Chains A and B, each alone.
Chain A
Amino acid sequence: MKSFVKSTRFRILIAFVAFLVGIMIYAVTKGGYSLSAASLINLVTQPVKSVSNSIALEFERISDKIFSPDKYYIENQELKERINELNRKLAEYDDLKAEVEELRKFADMKKEYPELDMSMPAEVLGYVTNDPFKSFNIDKGSADGIEPYSPVITADGLVGMTVEVSERSSTVRTILSPDLSVAAVASSTNADYGIIEGTVLTAADGHTKMSHLSTAHKLREGDLIVTAGNTGMFPKDYPIGTVLSTDFEINGLSACAEIEPCCDITRLSTVFVITDFTGKKEGADENKTAP
C-alpha cells in the first residue's frame, strides 16, 4: 500500500480525479449550459439513446403484460363497467331528452290552444297489423281520462279519434280511414267547407280526401285545411292538412281535394288525446255513436 501511494500511478490517478473535479466545478460555473464535450457526447449518443430507450420501453411493456395480467384484467373490467355505466347514463339522458321535448311540445300546445284539455303524451304502442288505414294503439286508456270518440292530435295536426278504449290502452282510427268523417274548412277562405273522409286510394299514399266541396270552391294547392268545429266532435280551427290537388267528384255535382295530413300518420311515436274542448258536443258521451 505504502509503495502504491508513493508510485507514479497513484499520482496520475489523483491528478485525473482533480481534473474531473475541476471539470465539475467548471460545469457548475456554466450556469446550466452543458460543456461542449458533453454536448458532443449527447449529440453522438442521442440516436443510440433513443433506440435503446424505445427497446427498453417495449421490453417493459411486454414484461409488464406477461408478469402482471391480473392488473390489466382488473383495469379492463373497471373500464368496461365504466363504459356500461356511461352508456346507461346516455340512454337515460336520451329518454329524458325525448321526454322533455314531448313535454315542451305539450306545454307549447297548451299555450297555443288554451281551450283544449289534453291527456299526457300517449306513446304509440304499434300499428294495427295489416290495416290499410293505419289505425294504431296508444298506451293511454280510460284510467287516464280518455273516452271513446275523443280527438287525437299531434303538435302538427289532427290524427284521428279513439274508437276503442280499455283501461290502459286505446285504439285510434286515423283520418285516412273512410269510417271517420271530419267537418273541415279551408283556413285561407274560411268559406270552402267539406268533409274529410279517407279512401282506399288516398290511404295507400298516406293522404286523405276532402269531399262535398262546392264546385265553385277557391281552394288552391298548398291551402291549409282546418277543422270546422261545427259537429262538436272536434275542436275548431285545428290543422288537418294541406291541399295537394283538386278535382270534381264522379257525379259532377261537387268537388273534392286530396289532402296531405299535417303530420306523417304512418310514422307516429307520440300523440295527445283531447279529453275536453270548448264547443264539445253535449251528450256525446250518452249517445256513444261514431261520427
Chain B
Amino acid sequence: MRIKLPREKRIYYIKTVIRWIIYYIIIILFFSTMNAGTWTKPILLVPAALCIAMKNDVMASAFTGAVCGFLTDVACGKLFGYNAVLLTVFCAAVSLVFELYFRDKFINFFWINAVVSLIQCCLDFEFYYNIWKYDHAEMIFYGITVKVWAYTVISSVFVYLIFKFVNKKLMPREHLTIKEIIDNNRGITQFSKE
C-alpha cells in the first residue's frame, strides 16, 4: 500500500506539470530550429521524442511521438501524418522496451536512436525519392539522407543531455513503502532462482 502525504502529492503533480511544459517548449524550439535556414539539418524531434519515451509511460510517449511526428511532417513538407504514425509506433515501443528490459543508460538510448533515425531516414528516402525512380536518386541518399541521419545521431548526444538535465531536476522519484520494496526484492529473487 502506497501512502503519500498531501504535500508530497502536490510536489509530484507540480513537478510533473512543469516537466511536461518544458518538454513541449523544447519540442517547439527544436521545431523552430528545423525550419531555419536552407542547409541540411538533423531531425531533432526524433531523438527528442525517444528521450521522452525512455522515461515516461506508453500512452504519454505515444502521444508525444505523434505530436513530434506531425511537427516533423510540417517542417519537412511530408504527407501530414506520415512521420506521426512512425514516431507514435517507435515511441510506444521504446517506452515499453525501457520499462521492461533496458536500463536508462545513454548507450541504450544512443543505439536505439541511431536505429530509429536510420529507419525513418531510409523510409523517407524510399517513399519520397527512390520509389519515383528519379535519375541519380542515390545522390539524394548519400548527399542528404545519410547526412541527415549522421547529424541526427550526433545531435542526439546533446538532446539526451538536455532531457537528462530536465529529468534530473523535475522527474519525481518513486516513493516505495517498505512492503513494496520487500515485494519487489522477493520478485527479483524468485526470478533469479527460476
Contact = CB atoms under 8 A, between A and B. Distances in A.
A131 B36 contact: no
A277 interface: no
A48 interface: no
Task: Kindly name the residue among B75, B76, B77, B129 whose own CB sees the greatest number of chain A CB atoms within 10 A.
Answer: B77
Interface in B122-175: 129, 132, 134-137, 139-140, 143-144, 148
B144 A201 contact: no
Given A135-B77, A204-B143, A266-B38, A130 B148 contact: yes
A131 B35 CA distance: 11
B135 A200 contact: yes
A248 interface: no
Contacts of B35: 125-126, 129
B140 A200 contact: yes
Interface residues of B, number: 22
Nearest to A178: B134
B185 interface: no
Contacts of A125: 35
A200 B136 contact: yes
A199 B77 contact: no
A134 interface: yes
Contact of A129 (B34, B129, B139, B143): B34
B41 A132 contact: no
A199 B136 contact: yes
Contacts of B34: 129
B177 interface: no
Interface string A115-130: 0000000000111111
Contacts of B135: 178, 199-201
Given A200-B139, A204-B139, A129 B41 contact: yes
B139 A128 contact: no
B40 interface: yes
Nearest to B137: A200
Interface in A132-175: 132, 134-135, 137, 171
Contacts of A130: 40-41, 43, 76, 144, 148
Nearest to A177: B134
Given A126-B35, A134-B38, A171 B137 contact: no
Nearest to A267: B38
Interface in A188-211: 199-201, 204
Contacts of A126: 35-36
A129 B37 CA distance: 9
A49 B143 CA distance: 78
B144 A128 contact: no
B77 A129 contact: yes
Interface in A77-135: 125-132, 134-135
Contacts of A201: 135-136, 139
A86 to B, nearest CB: 29
Contacts of A128: 75-77
Nearest to B80: A164
A11 B148 CA distance: 110
A271 B35 CA distance: 18
Nearest to A171: B77
Given A134-B38, A204-B143, A266-B38, A129 B75 contact: yes
B133 to A, nearest CB: 10
B46 to A, nearest CB: 12
A126 B75 CA distance: 9
Contacts of B143: 132, 204
13 contacts: A129-B34, A129-B75, A130-B144, A132-B129, A132-B143, A199-B135, A200-B129, A200-B134, A200-B136, A200-B137, A201-B139, A204-B139, A204-B143
The 9 lowest CB-CB distance pairs between A and B, nearest first, are: A128-B77, A200-B136, A126-B35, A129-B75, A129-B76, A127-B38, A129-B34, A200-B139, A201-B136
Interface of A: 125-132, 134-135, 137, 171, 178-179, 199-201, 204, 266-267
